Amino acid sequence: MVAEASARAKGNGHGNVILGRYELGKLLGHGTFAKVYHARNVHTGESVAIKVIDKERVLKSGLVGHIKREIAILRRVRHPFIVQLFEVMATKAKIYFVMEYVRGGELFSKVAKGRLKEDTARRYFQQLISAVGFCHARGVFHRDLKPENLLLDDKGDLKVSDFGLSAVSDQLRQDGLFHTFCGTPAYVAPELLSKKGYDGAKVDIWSCGVILFVLMAGYLPFYDQNMMAMYRKIYNGEFRCPRWFSSDLTKLISRLLDTNPSTRITISEIMENRWFKKGFRHVRFYVENDQVHSLDNIDDDSSPPPQPQDDASDSGCESDSSVASCPATVSSFSERRKLGLPRPASLNAFDIISFSSGFDLSGLFEERGEQTRFLSGEPIPNIISKFEEIAKGVSFNVRKKDCKVSLEGTREGEKGPLTIAAEIFELTPSLWVVEVKKKAGDRGEYEEFCNKELKPGLRHLVYGSHT
C-alpha cells in the first residue's frame, strides 16, 4: 500500500512527498474509506500520522457532511489528552488529515496482556474523564469510546482518538436527544438498545465505565458469544465486580454502569468521587497556532509561555492558568533593552492609516467586530497592570509575555472559555497602540465583557482622555 501511495505521489511530480510537505512512510492501519500512514514533515523532520481519505468513495457514500463534521469536531476539541489535528489538505482525488503521531500504540494492547495496577488504571481513567468532560463542555459526544480508540504517547499519557462517529449538539432532535445507533457492541449503553433516543453525554459516561472495568478486571463486564444474549445483559445491567475491586471502586463502577441514564453519575460527580480524586490534577494548557502546550511545568520555569499569535487559536484551561512574570517597574525602552527584553512590534504606515480613517488619532476606541484598538501614552507596565486588575475583578486568569496579555475566563461553553488577547505596539517612543482581540469564546459574551468591563476600566488610559 505504501508503494501504491508513493506511485500516486510520484505521478504528481513529488516523489513520495504529499504536496511537497510530508513524506509518506509505513501503513499504520486502514478502514473502509481511509488509510492511515506514518509520515515525516520534510521541513521540520517531525513525525505525523496522515489519514488519507478517498474522495470518490466518500462522495458515492454520501459522507461529505460526515467528513466536514469530523474536521470541525477535531478543531473544536484541542486538548492534551486528545489526538491533535494539525491541518487538512486535499487534491482532486484525496483528502489528507495531518494528525499527531502517537507512538505508544493502543491502550487495548496493554490491557490484552492482563489487568492493570489500580494506580495505573486510575491515571488513565482520570485522563479519559478530563478529555471527555472537555468534549462535552464543547457540545461534542464521542459515541465510540473503547480501549482500541485510546492511544498512549511516549510519555505514557492517554490520547483519545477516532472521532468518526462523534456527534455535536447541533444534531440533536427536537426532543433534545440523539437517535443514531452507533458504537461498539460491548461498550454501548442500554438506552441505545431501546432505540428511543439518548443523551450523548450519558452514553459516553457508560462507555467510560466499561473501560474502567476492563482496565481493572482484564475482561469485559458484559460478554457473551451470542450477541443478543450480551445485549440482554447490558440492558439489564447484569455484571459482577471481581473480589480485588476496592469498595470505593465498586461503588464508582455501579454509578457508571447504572442502566438508568437519569441517575447515572455525571462528569462533575465523577471528579468529586473519592476513588477518582486520589492523585488527580487538573490539566493546564493553552493552544498556540493550533497546537496544544502544557502549562504543568511553567511554575518551575523562569521563562514565560508563548502567547497565542493568530485568530484561529483558542486557549483553554480546566483550572487556573499559569501567571508568567512581566517586569512591572520597567517604563522605558532603553531600560527594557538593557534587560534584554524584546521591543514591541512597530506598526507600519498601512497599520496607522487603517487604525483611524483620516489620520484622526484622537484616542477614541476603534472597533472592528471582534477586535478593538486604542491609543495610550501611559507607561506599558501601567497598561498591563490595568488588564490584570480587570481580570481579577471578574475572576479571569492572566498570562503575560513581554507586551502581550491574555485574559482567560473559566466558564466553559461550546466555543470554550472566553479568551481575550491584548498586545501593545509602538507608534512613537511615547505613544502606544493597544490592540484587543477575542481569541476564543462566544462573540456576544465578548461584546458584553468589552462594554461592561474593558472599556470602562481602560478609558482613563486612552490618549487624550484627560484633556
Residues belonging to the active site: 144
Q: What is the DSSP string of 182-212?
A: -S-GGG--HHHHHTS-B-HHHHHHHHHHHHH
Please give the DSSP secondary-structure letter assigned to residue 356.
Answer: S
Annotated binding site for ATP: 60
Q: How far is CA 78 from CA 3, 208, 222, 260, 400, in A?
A: 33, 20, 32, 31, 22
Q: How far is CA 355 from CA 12, 250, 461, in A?
A: 45, 63, 17
Amino acid at 228: M
C-alpha cell, 121: 488504571
Q: Give the C-alpha separation, 327 to 385, whole Å.
A: 10
Give buried/exposed letters for 272-308 (b at 16+ CB in 10 A, else e).
Answer: ebebbeeebeebbbbbbebebbebeebeeeeebbebb
Annotated binding site: 60
CB-based burial label for 78 (10 Å; 0-12, 13-18, 19+):
buried
- 374 sits in which H/E element: strand 371-376
Q: How far is CA 204 from CA 169, 218, 350, in A?
A: 14, 20, 51
Give Dmax over CA atoms of the chain in angstroms: 83
Q: Is the dihedral of CA 104, 110, 111, 115 positive or negative?
A: negative
CA 60 distance to own-chain centroid: 32
Q: Give the C-alpha separation, 132 to 286, whole Å.
A: 17
Residue 234's contacts (CB-CB under 8 Å, 6 or more residues apart) are: 188, 189, 190, 193, 222
C-alpha cell, 338: 538593557
- 337 sits in which H/E element: helix 333-338
Q: Give the C-alpha separation, 397 to 284, whole Å.
A: 12
Q: Give the C-alpha separation, 270 to 332, whole Å.
A: 51
